[in-house]
Amino acid sequence: MTRATRPTARHRGGAQWAAWAFLAPVVLYLGAFYAYPLYRNLDLSLRHYTVRSFVQGDAPFTGLSNYGTVVDDPTFWPAVWHTAVFTGVSLAFQFSIGMALAVFFHQNFRLSATLRALFLVPWLLPLIVSASTWSWMLNSDSGIVNAALRLVGLDPVNWLTSPAWSLASVTIANIWIGIPFNLVVVYSGLQAVPAEIYEAAALDGARPWSTFWRITFPLLRPVSAITLLLGLIYTLKVFDIIWIMTKGGPADASTTLATWSYRLGFGNLLPAFGPGAAVGNLLIIAAMIFGLIYIRTQRRALS
């Protein structure tokens, strides 16, 4: 991101001082508001906390036993599976729909810029607004979705209250929220493709479909990789939508690692801060792995 240090700058010690003086606030801030909460979170996961010792801060050190508790918990593997399904399905649909729309809007017809801007709305709305709107649309008795199903002769579905459907419901809402991001990023990638390439393809008589698969899609590979990885990191940590729509239920049917971590720490009358923090740290590790892949991919795409 930054250019390499130039020798002239290195000679001037005063310049280095000034440079770090401008950085000092952010460095202190990162220490106090990133590193320290993360350290506290790690500490939480390594001790046996009760409500009393949480306040007083004298909980005994128990090593990795919270992690053992979490992995042995019957909720663990379902939560991992739900996280994987939620993330995988969300990404597949967000990305393919986003890319199709980007290619469509790239054709620059009348109103295309305005309509493309309107597509950003779902991404900009507060998540609680989107989640509660979807909750009402998917309401079993009075929701518009079931009304539409009845109209075409299908049986209504208990979207949010049946274990078979709740994960699908929160995934649908999440796909809707994620489409704009994919659309905008892929669109900006399309703009970087030189117009001459398309003109040459058109001269050669290439049809739109083969132009897409032979030219557009391969040229968009770097942007696609970045979009997908970033989407992956965003989706792994989705909490608001699921919590507001189903609270992870019914019977844990839509519980992911993020909602489980929150429920352990805050969702019960008797908080289990240690296991909650342990689940959170596992989630961080997963996000970090994909984060590092993302950074490598991005560097390679730029060089």
Footprint of another protein on 92-151 (CB under 8 A): 101, 104-105, 107, 109-112, 115, 117-130, 132-137, 141-144, 147, 150-151
For another protein, the binding residue among 157, 236, 253, 272 (CB under 8 A) is 236
Q: Given the complex with another protein, which of 167 and 286 has the nearer CB atom? A: 286
Residue 140: phi, psi to the nearest 5? Answer: -60, -45
For another protein, the binding residue among 244, 246, 254, 272 (CB under 8 A) is 244
In the complex, minimum distance from the CB of residue 13 to another protein, in angstroms, rounded to a whole number = 11
Task: Kindly indicate which of the ranges 69-77, 87-95, 193-201, 255-263 contains the residues binding another protein, using the contact rule CB under 8 A.
Answer: 255-263
Residue 61: phi, psi to the nearest 5? Answer: -75, 125
For residue 178, state whether it binds another protein (rule: CB under 8 A). Answer: no
In the complex, minimum distance from the CB of residue 132 to another protein, in angstroms, rounded to a whole number = 6
DSSP conformational letter for 107? T
Q: x/- binding map, residues 23-62, to another protein, per CB under 8 A?
A: x-xxx-xx--xx-xxxxxx--x---------xx-x-----
267, two tokens: 């969702």
Torsional sign, CA 128, 124, 289, 23 = negative
For another protein, the binding residue among 70, 230, 253, 272 (CB under 8 A) is 230
Angle between helix 221-236 and helix 166-191 axes, rounded to 10 deg: 150
Q: Given the complex with another protein, which of 9 and 251 has the nearer CB atom? A: 9
245, two tokens: 């729509």
Could you give the count of Cα atoms lying within 13 Å of 301 in the half-sphere of its Cβ?
Answer: 16
Q: Given the complex with another protein, which of 29 and 77 has the nearer CB atom? A: 29
In the complex, minimum distance from the CB of residue 103 to another protein, in angstroms, rounded to a whole number = 12
Note the helical H segments in the chain.
7-11, 13-30, 36-45, 51-56, 65-72, 76-105, 112-118, 121-124, 127-137, 144-151, 166-191, 195-203, 208-211, 217-219, 221-236, 240-246, 257-262, 273-302
Q: Interface residues for another protein in 268-287 (CB under 8 A)?
A: 273, 276-277, 280-281, 283-284, 287
- Burial class of residue 9, CB neighbours in 10 A (0-12, 13-18, 19+): exposed
